[in-house]
Structure 1
Amino acid sequence: MQFKRLTALFFAGALAFSAAAADISIRIAPPRARVEHRTSSPGRNFVWISGYQRWDGHGYDWSPGRWEQRPRPNARWQAHKWKHQRDGWVLVEGHWR
């Protein structure tokens, strides 16, 4: 029983550390978003996901917008955004709410 608890604590700590280490801070501010022209919606249950500047390890690269089908009725898309923190810029990934 003691071994199982110790193992569980180890893995819980490793998960907490990896989640905190997942944020990569970029010292260079992201460029402005590009103006995109949306194509026609492919269907009633689709939502436009705006493009954004992503960091590829060497510089910013534009990830173009796209239409995406809602995973469930009334789902809303929370857009990607760059958040300024003390050490630089961190990307907050877009996600469904």
Structure 2
Amino acid sequence: MSKPSIRFFTLGAAAALSLALAGCVVAPAPYGSYGYYGEPVSVAPPPPQVEYMPAAPAPGWLWIGGFWSWRANRHVWVGGHWEAPRPGYRWVPHQWQRQGQGWRERPGYWNRR
């Protein structure tokens, strides 16, 4: 191949790859998607960690406290964060419920009033 052909091929391949990747979006999972949905785990969650809330980003925002989640066969702390209020909804916190010999994780969620 001549140098112009190699350059044209390389630019064409780069353009095609760019177009293919343009439709890919990597975004964090929404807050409500946290949670373990498998069998109940046998290890009780540790006590909640102490969290210090930073200043709210805007008046009226709601602090969503941190919680223990089950990931990679162990409890992992997920820190709290601020969320904008949702008119007509109330926040139901994350919780662990006893189920038989184990514990089942119930993620927090916004519930219509």
TM-score higher than 0.5? yes
Counterpart AA for 1:52: F
What is the aligned partner in structure 2 of residue 15 from structure 1? none
> Could you say which structure has the larger radius of gyration?
2
TM-score normalised by length of structure 1: 0.70
The alpha-carbon deviation at position 45 of structure 1 amounts to 3.7
Residue 43 (structure 1) aligned to one of 49, 58, 71:
58
Gaps of 5+ in 1: 1-21
> In the TM superposition, what whole-angstrom CA distance separates every residue of 1:31-77 from its partner, at most 9, and x where no partner exists?
1100101011111241100000000032111000000112x324211
Aligned: 1:53 with 2:63 = no
SS of the equivalent of 1:54 reads: strand
Q: State the Cα RMSD in Å.
A: 1.4
Percent identity, please: 33
Q: Which runs of 5+ in 2 are unaligned?
A: 1-36
Question: Which amino acid counterpart does residue 98 of structure 2 have in structure 1?
Answer: H
Please list, as runs of the form range in 1=range in 2, the aligned pairs for 1:1-97 lying within 5 A after superposition. 22-70=37-85, 72-97=86-111
Greater than 3 Å deviation, 4+ residue runs = none
Amino acid at match of 1:63: V
